[in-house]
Amino acid sequence: MIGFLVVDKEAGWTSHDVVARCRRILGERRIGHAGTLDPGATGVLVVGVGRATRLLRYLVGVDKDYLGEVVLGSTTDTLDDAGEVQERFDMSGVTLDQVRAGAAGLSGEIDQMVPMVSAVKVGGERLHKLARAGTEVERPVRRVRVERFEVGEGAEPGTFTLDVRCSSGTYVRVLAADLGSALGGGAHLRRLRRTRVGSFEVTEAKTLGQLEEAFAGGDGSALRPPLDALGHLERVEVSEAIALDVGHGRPVERGSIAVSGAGPFALVDAAGELLAVYEVDGDEGDERAKATVVIRPA
């Protein structure tokens, strides 16, 4: 069994919980996920199955879309509604135009500090474990890209809807908190929903219950082929002779596969099936392309 599941994660589940449940549903141990979602968040979690888990590295850098709400007037220790309120502010006079101006200032290439409640390691310890112990440490600042940060009126006073498209590694919780600070007070995030990871859309996602019912009934159509995760890579069709070398994981001359740049490249056969992912080793004079992941061994 090999491919990808597009899971619509429900609130209350950790990403690890989803992986464990998928292992039971499919009876497959080799399962992993791309892009952790907070337990309170919902939406797209891409799960790799079998050898496709080795392709998850190529989903690390893809853009993601989110919907959510920012609540003005209070900050929390987790930057979302799962945490304890730390400070309160009177922000009743803030207008939609002001919020949109604040969001514009947080768009494009920006620096973002990793939150304390996160899985990032500092000094060998996960930040969320240090946070639970009441320890605060200096955290890394990352350069991220916010391609879209649109806001609208929320259903309640002091709340505004968010529609965000951002680079991998962006914390929408931090965007909401920084927006509150930019407006002269504080804010936190709630109802975060991820609607896209690369080419995987929430419209095609299935809940764990739906997946369990489908696979129990012999319907494996939710398992997407490995190539579906690599739409952002250059795709190269290779001859039968080269496909045999690729199946053995042997290096191939870059000229023989007619590619430009160093890759990575998705090598496919005449039927369009993914064989492997290759990259050029620029340190070698002959510029041979080498296998990084072989999906269909000879």
Q: List all residues 6 or more positions away from 50 whose beta carbon is below 8 Å from its beta carbon.
A: 1, 2, 3, 28, 30
User: Pick the catalytic residue: 8, 38, 178, 245?
Assistant: 38
CB 59 within 8 A of CB 35: yes
Q: SS3 of 295, please?
A: coil
Q: Position of tokens 């109802």? A: 191
Say which DSSP state 237 is in: E
Residue 30 to residue 125: CA distance in whole angstroms: 26
**Both tokens of residue 145?**
């890209």
Q: How far is 41 from 44, CA to CA, in rounded Å?
A: 10
Query: Is-catalytic flag, 38?
Result: yes
- What's at 7, amino acid-wise? V
Is 78 strand, coil or helix?
coil
- Angle formed at CA 230 by CA 229 and CA 232, multiple of 5 degrees: 125
User: Which residues participate in catalysis according to the annotation?
Assistant: 38
